[in-house]
Amino acid sequence: MSPSPAAADSAFLKAARGEPVPHTPVWFMRQAGRSLPEYLKVREGVGMLESCMDPDLVVEITMQPVRRYGVDAAIFFSDIVLPLKAVGVDLDIVPGVGPVVASPVRTLQDVAAIPDLTPDHVGFITEAVRGLVGELGATPLIGFAGAPFTVASYLVEGGPSKEHAKTKAMMFGAPEVWDALMRKIAGIASAYLQVQVEAGASAVQLFDSWAGALTPADYAEHVMPHSARVLADAGALGVPRIHFGVGTTNLLGLMGDAGADVVGIDWRTPLERGIELVGDHAVQGNLDPTLVFAPTEVMTARAAQVIEAGRAAKGHIFNLGHGVIPSTDPDQLARLTEFVQGYPLS
Ligand code: CP3
C-alpha cells in the first residue's frame, strides 16, 4: 500500500507541500493521551508499551482526538522507544517518568547487541496503520520515529535526563562508539518509518526533542548526518517529512537543511523568527501549550498571532510548540481547533 490517496488533497498535506490551503490545518502533538478521559478509560490496567503493541487499542486511541476535535491529521499512537522494545531491548515506559532502559549502552559490544529492525519485528504496527488508514478516510495519518540523538539519550543515560551528560560524553570522548550507535538507531528509525509509510501513513515526523542540548557545530558534526539519512530514506518513500525539536532556535536552519519539508518550531522561538531561520521550508507550530489554561479569548488572540505570522512561511501547519500538557481541558482544544480552522485565510 502507498500513502493514502484519499488524504492527498487534505489541508495538512497541501500545507506540508507548500501549496495553497482551504484553511490553516491544525493538529496537536500528544493529542492522544492523558488529557482525554476516553484515553484514561481504555488504558485502565493496560501498560503503555502493551497498549502500543495492541493494534485495536492503537486504532482506538489514535482516533479519539480525531473524533473529538476534527483535527486535520492523526498521529500514530506509539512511542519513540517502541521500535527498540520491538527488536528486544529491555526497557519499560514508567508512568510519570518516561522510558527506562535496563542496561544502558556504553560500548561497541552493547551497540552490536541491538538487532536491526525488520518488518517482522513490528507486524502489529503494519496491522494498526492499515486499520487506521481505513477508518481515517480523507484525514492523513502522521507516522513518526525518534531521531538518533534523542533516542540515544535514553539508551545511554538509561532513562530521562536533563543534561544528557553521559550521552554527550560518549559523543565527545568515544566517537567510534557514538558513530556506531547513531548508525544503528538511524537504521532502526528508517526501517520503522518505512513500515508505517508502506502501510499507509501520509507523512512522517522525526522527533529530535532533546537536540536543543547541542551547539550548532556539534549538531552539524555528530548528529545531523544521521538524522539526514533517516529523512532522506523517508523522502524516497514520497511523503512529506516534519522535523521537530525543543529549544532549537540555534539549530532551525540546520534542521531544515537535514532534509525536512516542514520544520517544527517550539513556542520559545517567535514564529516570525523561526520562519526566517528555516528559509524555504514549511513550518509547524507554535502556540505555547500553557495558553490553553488561559481564558479562551486570550488563547485565541495568541493563536491568531501565530496564524498571521505563519502566512510568511512557504506553508504553515498550526500546532502547539510542544506536546499537550496532561491536565489540559479538552474543551479548550476543541475551541482552539474550531478557531484555527475557521480563521479567515487573509
Ligand atoms: O499523540 C501523540 O503525539 C502520539 C503519541 C506519542 C507518545 N510519545 C505517547 C506517549 C508520541 C509522538 C511520543 C513521542 C515521544 N516519546 C517523544 C518525542 C515527543 C516529545 O514530547 O518531545 C519523547 C521524548 C518520548 C519519550 C517519552 N515517552 C516521555 C518523555 C514520556 C512521558 C513520561 C510521563 O509519563 O510523563 C513517554 C510516555 C508516553 N508516551 C505517554 C504517552 C501518551 C504517557 C504514558 C501514559 O499515558 O501512560
State the pairing for strand pair 74-75/203-207.
Answer: unpaired
pLDDT digits (tens, 9 = 90+) for 279-323: 899 999 999 999 999 999 999 999 999 999 999 999 999 999 999
CA distances from 32 to 38, 125, 249, 312, 324 (A): 10, 17, 27, 30, 9
pLDDT digits (tens, 9 = 90+) for 159-195: 999 999 999 999 999 999 999 999 999 999 999 999 9
Whole-model pTM? 0.97
346 inside domain:
no
24 inside domain:
yes
- Rounded to whole angstroms, how far apart are CA atoms 229 and 120? 22
Q: Pick the catalytic residue from 39, 69, 154, 219.
A: 154
CATH of the domain at 268: 3.20.20.210
176 inside domain:
yes
290 inside domain:
yes
CA distances from 136 to 32, 121, 122, 130, 188 (A): 15, 25, 21, 10, 27
223 inside domain:
yes
- Residue 48 CA: nearest ligand 1 atom is 48
39, 77, 80, 193, best to mutate for ligand 1 pocket (most atoms within 8 Å of CB): 80
106 inside domain:
yes
- To the query of whether residue 343 is one of the catalytic residues in this protein, the response is no
102 inside domain:
yes
Write out the residue range of the structural domain in which residue 311 sits. Answer: 5-340
Task: Give kind and range of the element (H or E) at residue 204.
Answer: strand 203-207
Ligand 1-lining residues (CB < 6 angstroms)? 29-34, 48, 75, 77, 79-80, 93, 95-99, 144, 150, 207, 209, 323
pLDDT digits (tens, 9 = 90+) for 210-231: 999 999 999 999 999 999 999 9
Q: Would you say 26 and 341 are in contact if contact means Cβ atoms under 8 Å apart? A: yes
Q: Enter the C-alpha cell of residue 140.
A: 492523513
- Rounded to whole angstroms, how far apart are CA atoms 57 and 163? 34
236 inside domain:
yes
**C-alpha closest to that of 315 among 286, 275, 277:** 275
Confidence of residue 4 (pLDDT cuts 50, 70, 90): confident
Structural domain total, the chain? 1
Task: Give kind and range of the element (H or E) at residue 233.
Answer: helix 224-235
Confidence of residue 2 (pLDDT cuts 50, 70, 90): low
Q: Pick the catalytic residue from 43, 229, 241, 335.
A: 43
